[in-house]
Structure 1
Amino acid sequence: MEASTAQVNELERRIDLSVAIADLEQEMEPRLKRMGRNLKMPGFRPGKVPFSIVKQQYGSEARQEVLSEKLDQAFGAAVTAQNLRVAGYPSLEPKANDSTTHLEFTAIFEVYPEITLGDLSAAEIERPTLEVGEKEIDNTLEILRKQRVRYENAERGAAKEDRVVIDFCGKKDGVAFDGGTASDYPFVLGQGMMLPAFEEAIEGCQAGESKTFDLTFPEDYQAKDLAGQTVQFEITVKQVQAPRLPEIDADFAKMMGVADGDVAKMRNEVTTNLQREVKRRIEARIKEQAMDALLKANTLAVPGALVNVEINRLMESARNDMAQRGMKVKDFPLQAAWFADQAKRRVSLGLLLAEIVKTAKIEAKPEQVQELLKDMAASYEQPEEFIKWYNSQPQQLASVEGLVLENNVVDWVLGQAKVTDKVVALDDLMQGPGQAA
């Protein structure tokens, strides 16, 4: 076996591989004889099929197996000799040649990029800070109340936060247009489900009242044939219901999972959960900025093979998520292009994090892993069992170690960059990203 290597571009390589036909033939015969020992064929006893028939039936298969092995050996030897870090799998293309003694192929593959970490001293990162006080706890309780709102019929005109049920028909030039008609359509005024002008026309209407009004669609409306156009809507308000929020009492505490209805205990649990969520959100904000800083300071070529693998992984994850939501995945074909940017970002960060771990000698210390497990288990009813299970599952424990490594890399980035603390409001923190990608 022989091999020669050529560099095509920064990451792509081509290796010419040559396999002697005599070596193929030499290994084919013992392989076919081994196959023949267990071969069953009508008219012959097991293992007694004549070699000539075995060769005729399975010669091509054996030849392909031996050839694949020889090419794998030649390719492995070539990349090892040149210290090439192969990304993904090579594609093999046969080469046309007049040789009667050798078969020739070209292996096309990518290698991992050589990474020299960029300077992070100019990177600026804002570290959010938020002390959870009585105001934040009260706001959270109010949100929890609104999540458990009930609606009761109201004998008055509709107002913001009311739930209304309407029939409507939209017409353009006297003709009903697609998507402009519905019956028994429910929505809550002020939640932005309908255009502001549409909601304003309904405010003040009582149950049983009908109304006709003109509405001009925004210039950037998603339906291009309606963008900027003025249409006429006919509506009938069938129901107006006012919101009724639950009182913060024993019944509410029970709804929140406190069996004895102790309001003070419920408030303590809300406080603990809120503090945990605030901590998680702050860490996610910081991590996202750290990852952005790394990408900005390091421009690197990314192996397409790794990006394609990540695209397929993201697509599979999306399919599983859609299936869990009851959607028919086959009716919603996903396109790889939708995931390309996210996949490239993930692969780039993966390469950079691996390089930082190696050069900065970062590790996931056992006590850090157990501390993270403790944080993860805090929201479970039996945290000890949660921790015990993770510690007994090597694969799951490895994923936690990976998270600890990421956190340690973030700390390393913070040590290189310019970090300033910034006080944030709870609403702003909760509206931001919940995790870094």
Structure 2
Amino acid sequence: MNVTVENIGPCKRLLRVEADVNEVERGFEEVTRDFLKHATLPGFRPGKAPKDMVVRRFEKEISQETREKLVRDLFQAAVEQQKIQIYHIQDVETVSFNRGQPMQFTVTVEVKPEFELPNYRQIPVTVEARTVTDKDVEDALEALRQQQKGYRTVERVATAEDVLVIDAKATVEGVPISQKLGANTSMYESPKGFWVGAQRELGPNFFAQLVGAGAGEKRTLQVTYPADYPTKEMAGQTVTYEVEVREVREPFVPPLDEAFAKQMGAESVEALRAGVRKDLENEVKYRRRNQIVNQVVMHLVQAVNFELPETALQEETRNEVYQRVANLQQRGLSPQQIEEQKDHIFSSSQGTAFVRVKLDFILEKIAQAENIQVTQQQVAEYLTYLAYQRQVPAEQLVKEMQKSGELSAVYRRLLLDRALDFVVDQAQVTEKAPAAAGDAGEAPAGGA
């Protein structure tokens, strides 16, 4: 076997493989022997048909399987001989193949990038020195109370802090609004049991005209909608509302007592307070580690330069675009709004993909250098967790992933995560005073 390797692009190689006549003949003989063992011909038991008859009957199949076997075996031998680390096989082309003649074929492959590892031990990072104070705990408890805010009916006139339950009828120049302005305005025409307040209005200055009203009271309101009002038919229109107040409701926040604690799943106020403190402390640890991870990732990515396989970048970019579009859809953006952002989505996705792919190759090399391994138990625990997330039996998930080839990807992801943990745990951490109140902090590093 003769092998030549040509560099044809970033992380791309062209392998030319030539096999002599003897290698080709050995391939034919091996495949023919296998056919002789299993071939079934009329009048003969399986494996008992004469060789010449089997060869004539299955000549095409023997030739095709021999070609595939030779390409497979010789390619693997060529990779081992040239010490090439394959990332992706792009194309296989048979140049010449006939019995009794030398064989030639080419394989276009992407290879893993070659580079020297940067320093990954004792990477200097700076994090905010945060602790959970008593005030933090009390603020969190107050936020919990506010989340449970409700409204109760009161027998008095409305204040600016209340909400009202109303019935209303809307007209423009004495004509029902939908007849005057079109069907798109029908939701404004006769709302019943509608809640209005400072945060929920039927139009500008609507609720302010009802402050001081009590249950059973009727008022006539004039509302002028601005020229840029979202419902185009209403823009610039003055609408008359005949309103009847059904109820006045005031907001109330439950007290921090035993009943509230039990509602939150705690046995007592002190148990609730202790649970809140623990949650806040876990959040501080989480934010601290994210700061370390972000800085470690950027140090590794910026410390070394090397080419990346195009296939890896394209695949990761595609995954990132898909995820971003899905997130925008969940936030309620229309297809047209997403289309308007497509250039930004793609360019930012490319940037994120570049960092992730580059980081993964660095972490893979660190795992090799440090002999980091993933145990079967760790894989099993992750698959159990994944099965729980997807709401399928673990055994079914494993079979599906074995069939699709996803298991190797799972193993690689766990290996890279362990390599990152190794580097992060060794980082040289310096603490600094926390940023000003209201700082959102740093987001977790993508893909790591």
Q: What letter corresponds to residue 13 of structure 2 in structure 1?
A: R
Structure 2 partner of 1:213: 224
Structure 1 residue 44 displacement after superposition: 5.6
Give the corresponding residue for 1:386.
none
Using the TM superposition, give the Cα deviation of residue 43 of structure 1 relative to its aligned residue in structure 2, in angstroms: 6.8
Matches within 5 A, 1:271-282: 271-282=277-288
Equivalent of 2:264 in 256, 266, 278: 256
68-77 vs 137-146, which moves further: 68-77
Letter matched to residue 244 of structure 1? F
Deviation sequence 1:222-244 (CA, Å, 0-9, x none): x9x98xx9655969799986543
Q: How far, CA to CA, are the matches of 1:110 and 1:60 in structure 2? A: 32
Local SS of the residue matching 1:306: helix
Shift of 1:266: 1.5
Deviation at 1:31, TM superposition (A): 2.5
Q: Residue 328 of structure 1 corresponds to which residue in structure 2? A: none
Q: Distance in 1 between matches of 2:30 and 2:47?
A: 14
Deviation at 1:112, TM superposition (A): 1.9
Name the aligned partner's letter for residue 12 of structure 1: K
**Which amino acid in 2 is paired with 1:406?**
L
Task: Give 1:13 deviation, angstroms.
Answer: 0.9
- Give CA deviations for 1:351-394 in whole Å, capped at 9, x if unaligned: 223345566x596999xx9xxx9xxxxxxxxxxxxxxxxxxxxx
- Is residue 432 of structure 2 the alignment partner of residue 421 of structure 1? yes
**CA distance in 1 between partners of 2:300 and 2:126 (Å):** 15
Structure 2 match to 1:378: none
Unmatched 5+ residue regions in structure 2? 171-176, 331-337, 383-408
Query: Which one-letter code corresponds to 1:133 in the other structure?
Result: T
Contact 2:93/2:106 (<8 A) preserved? yes
Query: Structure 2: which amino acid aligns with 1:215?
Result: P
Aligned mates of 1:39, 1:163 — CA distance in 2: 86
Distance of 2:433 and 2:31 partners within structure 1: 71
Match of 1:129 in 2: 129
Q: CA deviation at 1:400?
A: 7.2
Shift of 1:137: 0.6
Cα distance between partner residues in 2 of 1:82 and 1:201: 78
Q: Percent identity?
A: 21
- Once the 2 structures are TM-superposed, how far is the Cα of residue 78 of structure 1 from its aligned partner? 2.8
| Cα pair distance change 1:179/1:76, threshold 3 Å | farther
Alignment partner for residue 304 of structure 1, among 288, 303, 310?
A: 310
Whole-angstrom distance in 2 between the partners of 1:181 and 1:217: 17
Q: How does 1:185-264 map to 2 (within 5 A)?
A: 201-204=205-208, 206=210, 212-217=223-228, 232=237, 242-258=250-266, 261-264=267-270
Which entry has the higher C-alpha Rg, 1 or 2?
2
Q: Is the 8 A contact 1:290 1:414 kept in 2?
A: no
Structure 1: gaps of 5 or more residues: 325-331, 374-394
Q: Does 1:284 align with 2:290?
A: yes
In structure 2, do the counterparts of structure 1 residues 96 and 58 end up closer, same or farther at CA, with 3 Å as the change threshold?
Answer: closer
Answer whether contact 2:17 2:75 (CA < 8 A) is retained: yes
Does residue 77 (structure 1) correspond to residue 65 (structure 2)? The answer is: no
Question: What value does the CA root-mean-square deviation take over the aligned residues?
Answer: 5.6
**Cα distance 1:358–1:44, how it changes in 2: closer, same or farther (>3 A)?**
closer
- Contact 1:363/1:405 (<8 A) preserved: yes
Q: What's the TM-score, normalizing by structure 2?
A: 0.63
Q: Secondary structure at 1:247's aligned position in 2?
A: coil
SS at match of 1:113: coil
Q: What CA distance in whole angstroms lies between the structure 1 residues aligned with 2:249 and 2:114?
A: 64
Can you list the C-alpha shifts for 1:123-163, whole angstroms capped at 9, x where unaligned?
98541221101111112112222333334457766867969
1:344 aligned partner: 354
